[in-house]
Every structure is written in structure tokens, then in C-alpha cells.
Structure 1
Amino acid sequence: MASSFLDRLDGIHAATIVPMRDDFSIDDAALQDHIAKVASVRGIAGLLLNGHAGENFVLSREEKIRVIALAREVVPDVLIVSGVNSESSLEAAAEAAALEAAGADGLLVFPPNSWALGYADDSVILHHALIRDATRGPIMLYGAPIGAGAMAYPPLLLARLAAEPRIVAIKEGSWEVAAYEANLRRLHAQRPDFKVLGSGDEHLLACYLIGTAGSQVSLAAVVPELIVELWDAAKAGDWVRARQAHERIYPLAVAIYRDGPSGRAAARLKTCLMLLGRLQSDRIRPPQMASTAAERAALERALAHAGA
């Protein structure tokens, strides 16, 4: 199972959003339509559901399970990785088992938000061990941005986590190219078969030049053809074409992820999809707020620049 999962991790995996109704409940039909359309794009190798773009921090366990079940109905053969995100290790383990039973092929374990303030390394090992013991399939690490405090695992802790055979890959989101390359080299020195997915949406070109197995990125849920174009050009070693794709992508990545205030990506992703006519509403659950007029204008300009 792990070998097949690893093979299928190569390439571009779209981190999808979760459409909401006016009462903030999940719009099942819109979710299935979104997932089906993204997954149907040539070159999309799989999906990341219940990630940050999917508002996993405000969904209940039952809602996360429903997201997986609804996806399985419309994309039965597509590789699905589900995020696992809980402050409680016991809840994370129960959630992981339920998501796997609902049809997730693999699990991406997000660090609890409280870890941004610090933690004992053994607590991180215990958190992942409880999830491992509650499940049977492959597990992925989340490499948090270096700006997220202690959430970004230091080298010795990362090595301890990667020593677990069931942990087979990392969504590497250091969001800084030097940290990305250092983690890539360390992990491959320790385990040559370990899959490192360069997944900082602003830095895909640089990560692809350094080397990567693929990406799990939310930009691939908005402009999937363009992200696939960048990936295909990089794989072919056509760096002129890759740079051209990057130039189209970069302003959109900045408008979604970098422009302040921080933590606005999920709202802005939904607004992009609404502007493109692929979503009826960009409603997002509190405490997140809808995109402002200034954000919307910046996203419209960036989408136009991308040719979307």
C-alpha cells in the first residue's frame, strides 16, 4: 500500500476549498462540483482535502468525514489525502481513523496550533504515534512555515519523525527556499525514498529547480492548468517555459498568500473561485471574514494577469 501511495504522490495535488451556504453549513452539491472539476483537469494527480484551504480548523469531525465521503462519490479513483487537525492527540487519532474509514488514501498530520508557542519533542512524537496506532495507511508530515513559530520542526525532531516507517512523506511548506532545500537534503540522506513535496505556493519554481516529488497546493484548485503547466515544464527541464508560467502565477500567489493581513488565504481562494464563476458564494466561517473590496480588486488584477 505504501509503495503504491508513494508512486501516486508524484505530481500536482490540488488542496480544495469547502463551499458554504448562507448559514455557514457545507454546501454538499457545490463541494462535489468543485472537487469533480478540479480533479478532471489533465495533470492533476490527486487531492488534498481537509487542509488549511478547506478550513479544517473550523470543521467538526463529522463534517470532515462528510467531505471525504462526498469526494469519494464523485472521484472514486482519485488519490485523496485528508488533513488531520486537532489540538487533542486523542481526538486527532479518532479523527484520523474515521477519515481513513471514509475513504482517505493517506493522512496529512497538521501540528496543533498550540505548538506555535513551543512543545516538548516527545509530545510531538506521541501525537503522531497515537495517530499511527489508530490507523493502517500511510502518514504524511506537515512542514509548517518558518514564520509559524515552533510549528516548523527543527532538524533533530524532523529526523525522529521520519524514522517512523509509516510516515512516508512531507508536505514541505517552510515558505522559505533555503529551509526547504535543507529539509529536502536531510530527509533524502536519511531515507532516499521519502517523498518531499515542495508546497510553498509562492516558491514553486525555486523548489522545482532544487528538486521535488510534486506539490499539494491550493493554487491548483484555482488555476490548475497553470500549475500543471509549471510542473510539466520543470519536469521537462524547460526552464524558459517554467519561468513564463511562474511570471503568470506569482502576482496571484502574492495576492492570496503574502499581502497583509496574514491568514487570509482561505477567504481569498474562495473569492477567486467566485470571480471565475466556479463558485456561487465565497462565504467563509467565522472568525475568518469575507474578502474586502481591496482584496477582491487585487485578486481580480492577479487573475487577469494569470490569464485565468
Structure 2
Amino acid sequence: MIPQGPDRFHGIYPSTVLPMRADFSPDWTAYARHTVHCALRDGVAGVLMNGHAGENFVLSRAEKRRAVEVTVATVGATRIVVAGVNAESSLEAAEEARDARDAGADAVMVFLPNAFALAHTTEMALLHHRAITRAVPGMPIFLFQAHHAAGRMGFTPETLDALLDIPEVVGIKEGSWEVDRYDALRRQVKAKRPDVAVCASGDEHLLACMVHGSDGSLVSLADLMPDEISALDAAVRAGDLPRARALHDRLEPLAEAIYGAPPAGRATARLKFCLAEMGVIPDPAVRPPQPPVTGPEAAMLRAAMRESGLAPQGPRDAA
């Protein structure tokens, strides 16, 4: 549900995981429970699903559509539902966007094809996004600014300027993981399209980006600590930096353990492990080729959870 007003897309959006059973089939009951846990909170504007945290790169079109349907049925009457669209083919991405719209999503977030990491041009980025806008005319679109480790998948200033000419663009998930790049993008967007919500979404440095200025955040760390991230956003907006620093100190151990500790690319597996430790989802299974969290990695996450005030529960704590 999209609220009214010029700030209608501002706010905090947890980027949900998709719980799975031991056979790697989606557990829709657990998914609905997880979505309620992180999204139906004071200070949470909406939910981003079928994102990287939701393993969108290993889901079928039917599974992605079902995920939208479950999300809308669970929280769609009171929260904005943003569905990730991730496909190598622009034609397939357009079909995913139609699926999301028909299943009730309020907006889509467009992920660039992985092939763009090899090379891409402004023309390619425009073709990809315009294929989607033609498929779902008038549907709000969030852009995704990939982090620097994704190579050429991040938008250049020239490409971003061209994409901002698309009227359906209403927001940007800024995930470059570099505060200076974030601020440069924010300034560029606000100079051309002040109506577009620029959302600081690098989980490890939310405080720094929010102090520069942010219209919200679309982050998977909010799966675990939605109240704290909403409170951080509110504290910065109120100019209460002591409160903001205290919240940052609580968030940072878990953020570094999930996103910063090597090897890279383990965020979804680690999020699921923590959610299972908290008793929010029953199984931390991730689809291959990602292996499960075990051994020293599990011990690291349990320690970080305790430091961030999320003590593991249940029999896994003794493992």
C-alpha cells in the first residue's frame, strides 16, 4: 500500500530472505512469519522481497511470483511491497515485472544483469529499464546502485543522469558501500530529481550515510534488528547523535560479521543462520552452490549476535 504525499516512498524497508526446507523448497508459512516479524513494526514503511537476500538469482519465475503473493497477503494492506526483478534477459525481466504487478506489488526494484559486470553502456542500462517500464507502464521503479566490488555494475554519473529521465523512477537503493560515493550520488539525484527517494543501504555504514542525508534504507540487516535500524534513522533525523552512535555501536558487530567478514557473498546464509538461531525461521537452508553456516563461521555469528544484544535461543546455542 503506497501512502499519499511527496515522501510516500521514504522509510525503512527490510530486505527479506526466503526460508527453505531441508530439500530447498520454499517454506511459505515460515516466510510469512518472517515477514511479519520484520515488517509489521513501528517505523517500517515497507518490505523489499525477491532481492539478493531473498536469493532471487536461484528462484524460478513461479517462485518469485508466489513470494509476491504471500508478501501482499501478509503485509500489503499496511506496507509498501517492493519486488525485486533480476534476470539476465531484459525480456525476461519485463515478464518478472508483469508477474510482480499482477501479484499485487506496489513497486519493483530493478537489478542489473550479472553480465553487466563484464561491460555495459548507458544505452544498455536504458534499454533494460525501459523494457520494464513498457511492460508495466506507470508502475513505480527503484534503481539499485551496486557496490564497488560488483565492478562495472555500478551506475556512472552519466548513466544515472539518463536513468533519472525515466518518470517511473521513484527511489534508489544505494549500496555502493562507500560513503563518499553515496554522498556524490545523493547530491546528483537531489539536484535533478528531488522527488526521488535516495536510500542509504550499506548495512555496515548506515550511520555515516544517514548523517550525510538519507530518505530511508532498504537493508537485510533489518530482518534481524528492524527496531534498532528504525530508531537509528529517527535519531539522526532528530539530530540526536549520542543516541544514534549508541545504536550504531549495537548494530555494527552483527553488520560486520554478516557482510564484512570474509569470504564475501555469504550474507544470505548468515542472515538465515541468525534468524534460525533467534527462532524466527525453522531452517537456515540456502540453495546450492552456497554451503550452510557451520564451525568457526557459526561461532563468529553467535558471538556477534550476543554483542549486538541478540542472544541465540534454542538447542543450536549449545552446538
- Sort the TM-score into its range (normalised by shorter chain): over 0.9
| Paired residues for 1:47-196 under 5 Å | 47-77=47-77, 78-136=79-137, 137-196=139-198
Matching residue's letter, 2:267: A
Deviation of 1:146 after TM superposition, in Å, equals 1.4
What's the C-alpha RMSD, in Å, of the aligned pairs? Answer: 1.4
Alignment of 1:207-246 (within 5 A): 207-246=209-248
**Displacement of 1:2:** 8.4
What is the aligned length?
308
> What is the TM-score with the length of structure 1 in the denominator?
0.97
Question: Residues of 2 paired with 1:113 and 1:102: CA distance?
Answer: 25
- Three-state SS of the structure 1 residue aligned to 2:58 is coil
Are the aligned partners of 1:5 and 1:105 in contact in 2 as well (CA < 8 Å)? no
Secondary structure of residue in 1 paired with 2:250 = helix
Contact 2:9 2:170 in 1 (8 A): no
- The one-letter code of the counterpart of 1:45 is A
Provide the rounded CA distance (Å) in 2 between the counterparts of 1:170 and 1:4: 19
Scaled by the length of structure 2, the TM-score of the pair is 0.94
Could you give the per-residue CA deviations for residues 226-279 of structure 1, whole angstroms, max 9, x where no partner exists? 111211211111000000000111111110001111100000000010111111
**Residue equivalent to 1:46:** 46
Q: 1:4 and 1:263 mapped to 2: Cα distance?
A: 37
In 1, are the aligned partners of 2:37 and 2:280 still within 8 Å (CA)?
Answer: no
Establish whether residue 304 from structure 1 lines up as the match of residue 294 from structure 2. no
Shift of 1:295: 1.4
Which residue identity does 1:147 align to in structure 2?
Answer: A
Alpha-carbon separation, structure 2, partners of 1:243 and 1:101: 42
How far apart are the structure 2 equivalents of 1:161 and 1:304? 42
Separation of aligned partners in 2, 1:294 and 1:135 = 46
Note the residue ranges of structure 1 that are not aligned, 5 or more in a row. Answer: none
DSSP 3-state at the match of 1:44:
coil
Q: What is the identity, as a one-letter code, of the residue corresponding to 1:86?
A: A
CA shift, 1:147, in A, is: 1.7
Unaligned segments of structure 2, at least 5 residues: 311-319
Q: Which runs of 4+ in 1 moved over 6 A?
A: none
Amino acid at match of 1:79: I
8 Å CA contact 1:8–1:79 kept in 2: the answer is: no
The code of the aligned residue for 1:277 comes to G
Report if aligned partners of 2:2, 2:8 keep a CA contact under 8 Å in 1.
no
CA contact (8 A) 1:270 1:282 kept: yes
Q: Structure 2 CA distance, aligned partners of 1:26 and 1:289?
A: 17
